[in-house]
Structure 1
Amino acid sequence: MFITGCSTVTKISRSGYEEAPHKVLIKNGNIELRSYSELQLVETSMNPQGEGGFMRLFAYIDRGNSRSQKIAMTTPVYIQKKNNGKTMAFVLPASMHKDEVPAPTGINVKTGIRPSGAYAVYRYSGKRIDGGSKDAKRSLNEWIVKKGYRSLSEPINAYYDTPWTPPFLRRNELMIQVDTDHP
């Protein structure tokens, strides 16, 4: 009964959020090749322990922007290693045109674009571990090589659930942008 209750709560909490639009091109077990259009993001840097980003981004979507506009929360939340640290990003709603994106008013918050393209994605549950689970990273890289694709990005972690969702019910993904035409 506990598992059923948790599952229902998780589905309800997810169902209220728009998910970054994509098309599944290939599905092979836990791995998918997806096509994403350009995504508009709001992002911020995090400390080396991966802390400090969420509340700055939440402030932005909760009227902490140049238009004092409330913006809908979406999923997933992206975390990626960049330079000597990490960045956390929220995807802005697909209905928001590029020209409608308000400027951030908070410190260390900026808007940006994630380029369109093909992404190899490994889906797993469990705790949010830096870089995704080791098995996810290894399996995804092996699959990319086996398919003859070329990696174009560092791994991107995608998290769909709240921190209080039991780990075994969480939807986590590890993504790598790939070139499917030129190995």
Structure 2
Amino acid sequence: MGTVIGKISAETPKYQVLAKGTDYEIREYEASIAAQVTYDPTQMKRGRDGGFMILAGYIGAVGKPNNVKPQKEQQEGEKIAMTAPVITQESSPPTSEPIAMTAPVLTEEASEPGDDAKKMVTMQFILPSSYTGENVPRPNDSRVSIKEMPKRKYGVVTFSGVTDEGVVKNKVEKLRKSLEEDGYRVAGDYVLARYNPPWTLPFLRTNEIMLPVE
């Protein structure tokens, strides 16, 4: 997924640049397959990143892969290559019931960081492009689900450094303002994509804020 000097060697999602603004790109991403887990970050040792080891277990980044091949439940799981980014989405829980690895790590929040509302986090690993809905290994862990991601269009700004709430909030606000000033309609909540592991030097990290647009 990355090194201390920021080199990204893992497969990353394929996209086409449709347009460029002064500080952002409009990208259309190809359809892909993601493994994801949703959790309450206050109940996890690693907080917002608490789903990482669960997904790492699914792909076999630590120990044996916690999955089974389609229609071959009795066979050993399949090790899945790491890719980037890791994707994280934050949202308020509903009023009824709670709801190889790629780079970057993506984080999507349904409201701005710092809101008082309790947030649930959904973390995703985008799986290698060789996987489809038919051949993707099924999770053994009930907390992990597989999601088919359709083609999607985002306004994207790339930056280095840390991704704490203050930095992310500022980047989101600036990107949203730029997109709206240029005539784009923001069609949903932002996604934070992180392409490097925690041990990468902050000024060498690659991060992206992504806002869905129409």
TM-score (norm 2): 0.74
List per-residue Cα deviations over 1:85-114 (Å, max 9, x = no partner): 111100011111221011111131100022
Change (3 A) 1:69 1:131: farther
8 Å contact kept, 1:131–1:155:
no
Q: How big is the shift at 1:138? A: 1.3
Q: Is the 8 A contact 1:131 1:157 kept in 2?
A: no
* Structure with greater proportional strand content: 1
Unpaired stretches in structure 2, ≥5 consecutive residues: 42-46, 70-76, 94-119
Q: In the alignment, what sits opposite 1:115? A: 150
The structure with higher relative contact order (CA 8 Å, sep 6+) is: 2
Query: Residue 156 of structure 1 aligns to which amino acid in structure 2?
Result: V
Aligned letter for 1:52?
G
The equivalent residue for 2:6 is 10
**Hey, what does 1:69 align to over in structure 2?**
78
What RMSD over aligned residues (CA atoms) do the two structures have, in Å?
1.9
**Counterpart secondary structure, 1:138:** helix
1:165 aligns with 2:200: yes
Which residue in the other structure is 1:97 paired with?
Answer: 132
1:58 is paired with a residue whose SS is helix
The sequence identity of aligned pairs, in percent, is 35
Structure 1 segments of 4+ aligned residues over 3 angstroms from their partners: none
Runs of 5+ consecutive residues of structure 1 not aligned to the other structure = none
Mark the CA change 1:59 to 1:43 in structure 2 (over 3 Å): closer, same or farther: same
Higher helix share: 1
Structure 1 SS opposite 2:6 = helix
Q: Are residue 26 (structure 1) and residue 19 (structure 2) matched?
A: yes
**What is the 5 A alignment of 1:129-148?**
129-130=164-165, 133-148=168-183
Q: What is the alpha-carbon distance in structure 2 between the residues aligned to residue 80 and residue 93 of structure 1?
A: 20
CA distance in 2 between partners of 1:130 and 1:78 (Å): 15
- 1:130-166 C-alpha deviation (Å, 9 max, x unpaired): 4862331111101221122222221111000010111
Q: CA deviation at 1:29?
A: 4.6
8 Å Cα contact 1:131-1:156 kept in structure 2? no
1:81 maps to what in 2? 90
State the partner residue of 1:56: 54
Question: For 1:112 and 1:58, how far apart are their aligned partners in 2?
Answer: 16
Q: Secondary structure at the residue paired with 2:68?
A: coil
Measure how far apart 1:51 and its partner are: 3.4
Label 1:69 to 1:59 Cα distance change in 2 as closer, same or farther (>3 A).
same
Aligned length: 170
- Alpha carbons of 1:38 and 1:103: their partners in 2 closer, same or farther (altered >3 Å)? same
